[in-house]
Amino acid sequence: MNREELWPGLARVIALARINFRYIIYHVNEWINDSRYGIHTRTSLRGFQSLDGLRVLGDVSDANPYAPTPFGTIERILKHLPADTSQYTFIDYGSGKGRVLLMATRYRFREMIGIEYAEELHRIAERNISRFRGIRRSPVHSELCDATTFELPPGPCILYIFNSFGGLMMKQVAVNIIRSYLANPRHIMIVYYNPTVGNAFDVGGHFRHTQTIMEGILGGLGHRRRYTARVLEAF
């Protein structure tokens, strides 16, 4: 084999090694943090868990696989929340195994709610909530329900969404949120991580884009490119 034939093969091997090394670092960090808090929120080395075969409420066809938000990304996002969140309800749409809820429970919220429609993930979240070894300053629970029918509580809210739904379902969720705001205007802050349906909240112009949060290098190791979180607010 001459040099011209050898180099493309070596280049592929080097590229593959770099990708695998990146994923190994990411998953080791995931395991360390799960172990630290006595919970299990990570997935397989693929980085996501399919919803196929799981019992769900509603139509699974427009839902994305379960993929937990990286621990480092959660920390970055929490630093951009209002200074005083004691009167806010924190709601995680597509909360999976409860990681974001448990990391955010160190802050003072009026209440924290996880919305999950896959029963297996919801049950795991309940176990994680009961076993969590970290600081807990807010009441927190997971609800097994369809996100498209969930009604927001009346007070100020912080909503977290990690690309949980495809276009149709995301737009249905957005319509419900906008309708709730119009019926009862108050501060609603949406943190939309990896916003693949970025125009879902454009209807009526009630929500405006106020911040963009870029995730850190470590958090970005779990996927091919670093994601952003788009912050939308209505007052």
pLDDT at 175 over 60: yes
Answer whether residue 200 shows pLDDT above 50.
yes
Is 74 a residue whose pLDDT tops 90?
A: yes
Q: For the chain, what are the domain ranges?
A: 60-234
Query: For a pLDDT cut of 90, what percent of the chain falls above it?
Result: 64
pLDDT one-digit tens code per residue, 134-151: 999 999 999 999 999 999
Q: Please report the pLDDT score of residue 1 as a whole number.
A: 45
pLDDT, position 8: 54
Strand partners, 231: 191, 211
- Tokens in use for 192? 């939309």
Burial code (b: 16+ CB inside 10 Å, e: under 16) for 15-33 equals eeeeeeebbeebbebbeeb
Give residue 107's pLDDT: 96
Q: Is the pLDDT of residue 10 over 50?
A: no
Packed helices 71-78 and 3-37: angle between N→C axes, nearest 10 degrees = 60
Q: How confident is the model at residue 9 (pLDDT cuts 50, 70, 90)?
A: very low
Q: Are 102 and 37 in contact (CB under 8 A)?
A: yes
Query: Exposed, middle or buried: residue 219 (CB in 10 Å: 0-12, 13-18, 19+)?
Result: buried
- H or E element, residue 112: strand 111-116
**pLDDT, mean over the chain:** 87
Of 4-18, 110-124, 182-196, the poorest mean pLDDT is in: 4-18
Q: 7-21, 80-94, 197-211, 216-230 — which one is most confidently predicted on average?
A: 80-94
CA–CA gap between residue 129 and residue 37 (Å, rounded): 10
Convert the pLDDT of each residue in 18-32 to its tens digit.
667 778 888 889 999
In whole angstroms, give the CA distance from residue 170 to residue 15: 35
> What's the token pair of residue 59?
């139509």
> Is residue 231 helix, strand or coil?
strand
- For residue 75, is pLDDT > 60? yes
For residue 45, the model assigns a pLDDT of 58
Distance CA 41, CA 151 (A): 26
d(CA 150, CA 144): 10
Closest CA to 101 of 123, 69, 72: 69
The residue type of 163 is: N
Q: Which of 37, 152, 173 is nearest to 105 (CA)?
A: 37
CATH class of the domain defined by 60-234: alpha beta
pLDDT band at 90 (very low <50, low <70, confident <90, very high): very high
Q: How crowded is the C-beta side of 175, counted as CA atoms within 13 Å?
A: 8
